[in-house]
Structure 1
Amino acid sequence: MDRISFQQLFNALPSPHMLLDTQLNFVAVNPAYEVATDQPGRNLIGRNLFEAFPSEGEARRRLEQSLQRAIETGEPDTLAYIEYDIPVPPEKGGGMAKRYWTAVHTPLCDAAGTVVFILQNTVDITEIVLLREAASMPSSLFSGGVALVQRAREAEQAIRGGTGPTQQFRALFEDAPGMVALLHGAEHHFTYANRAYRKFVGARDVIGFPVRDVFPEIEGEGFFERLDDAYRTGEAALGFESRLMLRDPQTGEAREYFIDFSYHPITAADGSISGILVQGYDRTDSVRAQRRQRLLLDELNHRVKNTLSTVQSLARRSFRATTDREEARRVFEGRILALSNAHNLLSEQHWESADLASIARLELSALGSDRFELRGAPIRLNSKAAIALAMIFHELASNAIKYGVLSGREGSLALCWSVRDEALRLVWRESGTKAPVALQDLKPGFGMRMLERIVTGELEGILEFKVDDRDLQWIMLIPMAELAAARTLPHV
């Protein structure tokens, strides 16, 4: 049997391919590439890509970055959609033609594993884009699906050509980053599945089995029906970020996936449909990352609004309570610093939680005193509670330093906490020789209104004040439901 050289295969590929060295100079182009770019190979070989096809701005940046990623990582890189103008030959009028493309850049390595060439498979989708714009169809679906259709067409051409090309394409598909499978007949029996496909579906026997027997758990989700339609009509089917629930054959546990896929009918020599070529890409991580990003952005917007509201409230309370503008400024700056300290501590924990003792120690130490004691079991606070308690501790510590036990050389401060009956009991006790302030002497300027608003309003707790000859106590009872940090991140 005659053997087919790789040069023959390269030239026979129905979609445009070209080969670059690591300096992005042309090494080879196939006839389909010459047709797509309207440039003969003799005008390209040896020239730099961006000399042959000059461009500036976003289009060049994206193309160059994709090529460099392939060189640096040794992994294929895909541009699903890029607008890149190309020059028109002088005999056809000259100038530049607006074109739209999808491209895959595959690194080729030497025996030592070093990338020496980049193979580009590019598809001109200009007509499809214009049709899509005319029909107002979603760009994400078209740009994500057209590359899958083109690769299915290549496989179809290879299958029609006989055993030699089929084996060559099997070798290419086996190591492809995307999933590839061949289904035969109206019942869609598996005749081939590449490594990526087998890895995705796990410990399942697929070869020789109909698709409905291999994946019984997805019955009714529309995948089988679209396969049937593609086989019956001969029209390809595309899906973008389609949700798929697969069950682990060994554990029985169901897991959610998101995939891009194409079902491309394979036509036999007599014109009938003999099977379906399936291609797919696992987009689960990217879809979840996008959803998590949206969730985090929403949460960030919420926190920024809350913080601005808190700052506004602090400003009103700080400047309204006194006619001494300098004193008001110092009070306001101290409260902003307390808020900032809590934000910094939460940022270190990715805004998931903060330790109660750490919050208290941070606010007390920031005021320059070390004459305090903290007692209580470790308790993790959610972000809202951490900021609220930081403001409480700042107000109480500021009062203790200005007017209370920490204003003199003797005396001490203790903060104790415990949990009982689903509530946190916090006790702030100032003890020493300095006579504590009497209840009737407490004024709104002391921060009482702020304490009460935070404890009873924001945290839905109870605030109590006690004083005798030597001790002053602030007692707070706060429901744990208002304080507890989430044990797990939200499911996205």
Structure 2
Amino acid sequence: MDSYKLLVNLPDTVVFLSPDLKVLEATDDYLKTTMQTREGLIGKDFLEMFPDNPTEQESKNMLLLRESLLRAIQTKKPDYLPTIRYDIPIPASRGGGFEKRYWEAVHKPVLGDDGNVLYVIQKTSDVTQREVAKRAAELEESKYKFMMNALPQLIYTAAPDGKATFYNQRWYDYTGTSAETLEQHSWQESIHLEDLLRVEQIVEKAMQEGTEFQAEVRIKDKNGRYRWFLSRSIPMRDKHGNILLWIGSAVDIDATRQLVLELEQSHGQMVELSEQVQQAYAKAEAERKVLERLVMKAPVFFCILHGPEHRYRLLNEKYQQLMPNKELIGKTVAEALPEVAEQGFVKVLDEVYTTGKDFVAEGIPVMVDRYNTGKPEQMHLTFIYQAIYDENQKVTGIMVCGYDLAERSSTKNEE
């Protein structure tokens, strides 16, 4: 039996080292994975062959690798190295530099009859694909949470059994609670006692039937005061119809409820103002639809601008309605809206992108060529520019969220 041939053809990434960390042998899979040749690796100092990537701080983990190897030698027991980033040098024949990699490893000492360490076996697992996918998923989750926290409504999600799994920052800011508090106590503690039984019955019925539910309820704020909210939750299902989670929103309708009370106190005006009340409720319902189709159905205009050039990556229907004849996705603000750039708003975007500081505009006039006719018209808008950060706290884009004052004034006039 050719033991050597069996050794190097093991279907695994394994390298064999001497106690002074010189490379004695390696499997073919190890050589292929690390882009090394047997001639170039055997007899060399192991750590010198795999130095730190000098340009990437996250990859500078040679010290961790050395410590793990030495622990295995000193303790004469296997030592496990958890997932770390350790970039691999690319041979000059392939262009040089380093290739981004993530690894898990175990270092096992081989003892002689006298109990001393003869060899150290390193078995590695290249988990780069898994870790890159994991970090991409974490980035997407952070974007989702950022968007949910930026919305003006109280947003929440729940598991299929009704147990809450997420509250946005607006919820915490309004109620004055924390994630830890909500884990120990239930959402019911924020509900007015006079509303609690009714709401619980509505929720229970909806969960049993798997249907959306809606309820008007008083929710306590951080100062102990109650305000009326229109709460609605809809089930999200998989392709088989199974409920994956419940997505809910709560829209503040306290002003509307106060209007109802005033109308009830003035019977003479009840008939005349009844239509106004209905329209006020309809408006609250329209605002509630911010959860409809998640962000894309928001009752405010909303878009995401990517990069320092402020290129449109995402926008909702409300935003497109401001400029129905304009093609925006993929273009920069300066390209799509030159008239806006001329008014200095691109410079404001540059400032937000550079500093990360919010910019809030309330009811300011903006000239917009809405119908792409070359004739801009004046609009009065309230909006906010907020910087979007990546996992390294680097600004990657800007979120724009706001509303058209003329549209709201029109609604009020109709009322």
Range class of TM-score, shorter chain: 0.3 to 0.5
Structure 2-normalised TM-score?
A: 0.37
Q: Which one has a bigger Cα radius of gyration?
A: 1
Structure 1-normalised TM-score?
A: 0.32
